Chain A
Amino acid sequence: MISDISIGQYYTGNSFLHKMDARMKFILVFALLVFVFLCKSFFSLALMVVFTVFAVILSGVPFKMVLKSIKPLAIIILFTAVLNIFYTTGGATYFEWHSLKITEKGINTAVFMAVRILVLVVISSLLTYTTTPTMLTDAIERLLSPLSVFHVKVHTLAMMMTLALRFIPTLVEEIERIMNAQKARGAELETGGLITRSKALVPVFVPLMVSSFRRAYELAFAMTCRCYTGGEGRTRMKQMKLRPRDFIAAGFVLILLAGVIVLNHFFEAVI
């Protein structure tokens, strides 16, 4: 039941994207997200779509999994599309009913927006598909490390994130165990209305809280015993290193940027 929650959504693989440095991936994904907003014409957006499809193929992540990451956002995409159809007016009118009007420009904007969101979602989910949560937090830590000039405890924040991710499966297991134990004492956790049900969860959440605190203390103790004092002077087992493939990817993205700008320049803007 709860055991099939998948945490993060890393897809095990050994593709070009999997092997890239997480920091570079992070930066490039960020850049690509900006590019999506730079697109003004259908042609530049089409270039982005082509690039995205290419990246998905390159990653080796099955299309079915990518679709799964779009599913929860389907309603939002549909909603923005519908809003845009009715609220943007201009060009030829195809349909009119009271104050509702569907125009050429409305349809164009709606399609443009929907595709834009799709590309945004797919690109950012590719990052999590090809990067383990640990690598991600590592990359965030390294990228944010200049902030330590302003006394931001970047390492501590990253460590907290890593630990939180690490403990999610443990807690899921724990919840299952406690639920079974209380069910064995006749607790009814799956029947009744909202209030009965939330009341029934007290016997599950109190022990869960208690054991989370216990685990936190134990972990802190164990870390202290291993002389953990925070980020200063800490070395890593897996050193991050930029390799030729990272620069190739960066170069590719730069060419894409040039393409977007050129296409924007030569073709009519939709929005």
Chain B
Amino acid sequence: MTPAVEVRNLTHYYMKGTENQVAAIKNINLHVEKGETLGIIGHTGSGKSTLIAHFNGLLKPDEGEILVDGQNIFESKETLRQSRFKVGLCFQYPEYQLFEETVYKDIAFGPKNMKLSQEEIDRRVLTAAGMAGVRKENLEKSPFDLSGGEKRRAAIAGVMSMEPGVLVLDEPAAGLDPAGRRELISMIKNYRRATGCTVIIVSHSMEDIAGVADRVCVLNNAEIAMLGTPTEVYTRDEELRSMGLNVPEITRIFINLKKRGLNVPENIFTVDDAVACLRKMQQRGNA
């Protein structure tokens, strides 16, 4: 099967040609399979945002290629334009991109640019709004009258409404309170279940990523440092910490318990998982 997104030997320099030239990303090779959820983790400045801005051709690689559905996106103007719709990119703090008079119109902006029929636009807006959790009564309001969390949802719906095969979210939970974070993460899970789409989430919070990702890609100093399942990656606790990344507290506790000879799993990423796991062990112990 052709991967949803394939990155080959991608390198991008900032300030190219000047003495301050730095590689924002260096020689990145990455396959994202159809339907998978990939988490991209990295410290500030590790190149996460630069990497994803290549997926829909907002940035042009200095070296290497990007293939979406097996198609090189820089082949022609048309393929570049198509890549914008195939890969839905939702930036950090997307609520600052809202501009229309009503939430409905704003969500319809993407589909309208795709030159779809009015009925199709209508269907997509309603579906996306439903999936992103934008309440029906808010659709006719001005986006500037919504609360912070509602704005965020409306903006994400604006990207979902293009029904991209690949949805890329850059720090979708940034600036939200813990409850908001949890809701957002479960919204993403539901979206994925409902559509079967490929999802790429960029974050520096390992906790958020652990809950949703099938695979995790760790970027460090412009290069891929690790790539694997959350369990594979998160058990390399020491290395991650040297990259300035923090494994969730609860995972660390379990890893250390294991080291001390206790027979516990290492792939515990949330407190809820931990409680469930301990309960099970307790029952087993009683039995």
Q: B96 — which chain A residues lie within 8 A by C-beta?
A: 177-178, 181, 207, 210-211
A182 to B98 CA separation, bound complex (whole angstroms): 9
Interface SS majority for chain A: helix
Question: Does A268 make an interface contact (CB < 8 A)?
Answer: no
Please tell me if the beta carbons of A186 and B97 are within 8 angstroms of each other in the complex.
no
16 extra A-B contacts, CB within 8 A, seeds A182-B109, A183-B84, A187-B109: A177-B91, A180-B91, A182-B97, A184-B58, A184-B91, A185-B109, A185-B110, A185-B159, A186-B84, A186-B114, A187-B113, A203-B97, A207-B96, A207-B98, A210-B99, A210-B144
A206 on the interface (CB 8 Å rule)? yes
Query: How close is A213's CB to chain B, nearest CB, in angstroms?
Result: 10
Could you give, for residues 57-68 of chain B, a 1 whenever the CB lies within 8 Å of some chain A CB and a 0 otherwise?
Answer: 010000000000
Q: Are A188 and B113 in contact (CB under 8 A)?
A: yes
Indicate whether A195 reaches chain B with its CB closer than 8 angstroms: no
Within the complex, the shortest CB–CB distance from A176 to chain B, in Å, comes to: 10
The answer to whether B58 touches A185, judged by C-beta atoms less than 8 angstroms apart, is no
- Whether B99 and A183, one on each chain, are in contact in the complex, defined by CB atoms closer than 8 angstroms, is no
Most chain B Cβ neighbours within 10 Å, of A180, A184, A202: A184
Within 8 A of A (CB), among B47-78: 53, 56, 58
Nearest-CB distance from A51 to chain B (Å)?
34
- What residues of chain A lie closer than 8 Å to B58, measured between beta carbons? 180, 183-184
Give the nearest-CB partner of A177 in chain B.
B91
Q: What are the nearest 6 A-B pairs in CB distance?
A: A186-B113, A206-B99, A181-B97, A184-B89, A185-B110, A203-B99
- Contact present for B98 and A186 (CB under 8 Å): no
Residues of chain B contacted by A207 (CB below 8 angstroms):
96-99
Q: Is the interface of B mostly helix, strand, loop or mixed?
A: helix
Q: Please name all residues of chain A whose beta carbon is closer than 8 Å to the beta carbon of B53 when the two chains form the complex.
A: 180
A174 CB to closest chain B CB, in angstroms?
Answer: 8
Partner of A184, one of B98, B114, B144, B159: B159
Distance A211 CA – B98 CA, assembled complex (angstroms): 11
Within 8 A of B (CB), among A194-215: 202-203, 206-207, 210-211
Contact with A along B102-120 (1 / 0, CB 8 A): 0000000110011000000
| B85 touches A (CB below 8 Å) | yes
A181 to B169, CA, bound (A): 12
Tell me which residues across on chain B come within 8 A of A187, comparing CB atoms: 109, 113
Given contacts A177-B91, A181-B91, A184-B88, contact A202 B110 (CB under 8 A): no
**Are A202 and B99 closer than 8 Å at their CB atoms?**
yes
Contact residues in B for A183 (Cβ distance below 8 Å): 58, 84
State A178–B92 Cα separation when bound (angstroms): 11
**Inside 8 A of A184's CB, which chain B residues have their CB?**
56, 58, 84, 88-91, 159
Residues of B contacting A210 with CB < 8 Å? 96, 99, 144
Tell me if B162 is interfacial: C-beta within 8 Å of chain A: yes
When C-beta atoms are compared, the residue in chain A nearest to B85 turns out to be A186
Sample of 14 A–B contacts (CB below 8 Å): A177-B91, A177-B96, A180-B58, A180-B91, A181-B91, A182-B109, A183-B84, A185-B109, A185-B113, A185-B158, A187-B109, A203-B97, A206-B99, A210-B144
Shortest Cβ distance from A187 into B: residue: B113
B88 cross-chain contacts in A, Cβ below 8 A = 184
Q: Is B39 an interface residue (CB 8 A)?
A: no
A180 — nearest CB in chain B belongs to which residue? Answer: B58
List A contacts of B162 (CB < 8 A): 185-186
In whole angstroms, what is the CA distance A14 to B180 when docked? 52
Q: How far in angstroms is the closest Cβ of chain A from B189?
A: 23
Residues of A within 8 A of B42 (CB): none
Within 8 A of B (CB), among A151-191: 177-178, 180-188
Cα separation A177 to B97 with both chains bound (whole Å): 9
Question: Which residues 9-43 in B have Cβ within 8 Å of A in the complex?
Answer: none
CB distance from A171 to the nearest CB of B (A): 13
A186 CA to B162 CA, complexed, in Å: 9
Task: Give B144's nearest chain A residue, CB to CB.
Answer: A210
Q: Which residue of A has the minimal Cβ distance to B56? A: A184
C-alpha spacing A206/B89, complex, angstroms: 20
